[in-house]
Amino acid sequence: MFVITRNRCLNAVRARSLLRDDDASPDGQPTPAPGPAEAFEQLQDEEATRRLMLDHLDEQERVALWLVCFERMPLEAVTRVLNLTNATGARGLLQRARRKLSAALEARARGEA
């Protein structure tokens, strides 16, 4: 009885080996936070996007784009908030804003703007 108790106590005190999961993939692990260079590049991209929005979209288009993209508001709610009375509502406004931004991005890529 003494030997069994002793062995169980020793087993409990010993350091546990690390568990290994052969089915786990490294792709499923969370990615580390971006480094300073990546964070700076992302900040520059965001600033360039803001500048494009300010330069090429009118106020109503900017607000609609913000509400849909960042506030995740449905189109019907955006139509009501902005008091849009046209048949397409916020959908037409957003489509026009996206076309303007696409044209601005293409012009910037060609070096025109």
Query: Domain extents for the chain?
Result: 36-113
- 18-60 confidence digits (pLDDT tens): 666 666 666 666 767 778 888 899 889 888 888 888 999 999 9
Residue type, 99: R
Three-state DSSP class for residue 42: helix
pLDDT of residue 61: 92
Lowest mean pLDDT, pick from 1-15, 25-39, 96-110: 25-39
Mean pLDDT of 92-102: 92
Give the angle subtended at the CA of 94 by the CAs of 88 and 95, to the nearest 5°: 80
Q: Give the whole-angstrom CA distance, residue 65 versus residue 71.
A: 9
Which pair of tokens denotes residue 82? 């902005």
User: What CATH number labels 36-113?
Assistant: 1.10.10
Nearest to 56 by CA among 91, 19, 107, 2: 107
Dump pLDDT digits (tens) for 76-91.
999 999 998 887 889 9
pLDDT of residue 29: 67
The residue type at 112? E
CA distance 26 to 17: 20
What is the pLDDT, as a whole number, of residue 49?
81
